[in-house]
Structure 1
């Protein structure tokens, strides 16, 4: 069984490696949405894989690293494409959740990346 929870955060960034004049070369911001998917068997007593409150509380420190920040200033995110940001997030939360199976990161409602490790 797979469960998920959706989080959001607001960050600014610019892409330093795009061609001159590209609109993403200038600083701009996004309201990102992040879906975190965990897989496992529901516990016989609780009936769930993980309490959603526990999931939220364990992800919160990672979200705080990104929320209302300039992503380019975070070590490892000097060129913060959605693809790079998704792998960065994965590497931060995989040690917290061995049952992590997938993340979905959206920069806008219509664009995003799916990362499965």
Structure 2
């Protein structure tokens, strides 16, 4: 179990849900300035997804925790991030599998799922820790999910 205090995001929603998960995955950064990170290596990523909204669904959930795990953990766990060509590529730095981009891509796939729900919750933050000393927080701009 992850016991962590995450940076808080300010919002005006009534409900806030946080889902923690661990993802074991490898990646490499396809750029010469990446140094050692240009070589394939792995991490146990610690991910926290923050979802907020004002309405619960018919089952009393803002969003089902299992669905969040399925769409994120189910996609990335025990994979090579670079192999997810639908998310990452070697040509555009905005699509390299850096921790920053991984956090943004997780926010995007979570929001795509949330957009299908009748209660329309919002992904307000994704926290991704790649090592004990390094993490990224991604917060979508308002109206840009």
TM-score (norm 2): 0.66
Residue in structure 2 matching 1:77, options 70, 88, 99: 88
Alignment partner of 2:88: what SS? coil
Question: Aligned match of 1:9 in 4, 16, 23?
Answer: 23
Q: Which runs of 4+ in 1 moved over 6 A?
A: none
In structure 2, relative to structure 1, the CA distance for the partners of 1:26 and 1:57 (3 Å cut) is: same
User: In the superposition, relative to structure 1, how do residues 86 and 27 fare at CA in structure 2: closer, same or farther (>3 Å)?
Assistant: same
Q: 2:127 aligns with which of 98, 104, 109?
A: 104
**Residue 65 of structure 1 corresponds to which residue in structure 2?**
75
Give the paired residue count: 111
24 and 96 in structure 1: CA distance in 2 versus 1, 3 angstrom threshold: same
Q: SS of 1:19's equivalent?
A: helix
The structure, 1 or 2, with the larger RCO (C-alpha pairs under 8 Å, 6+ apart) is 1
* RMSD over equivalenced CA pairs, Å: 2.2
Match of 2:62 among 50, 55, 59: 50
Output the TM-score relative to the length of structure 1.
0.80
Asked if 1:32 is matched to 2:49, the reply is no
Give distance in 2, aligned partners of 1:104 and 1:38: 12
Larger strand fraction of residues? 1
Give the gaps of 5 or more residues in structure 1.
none
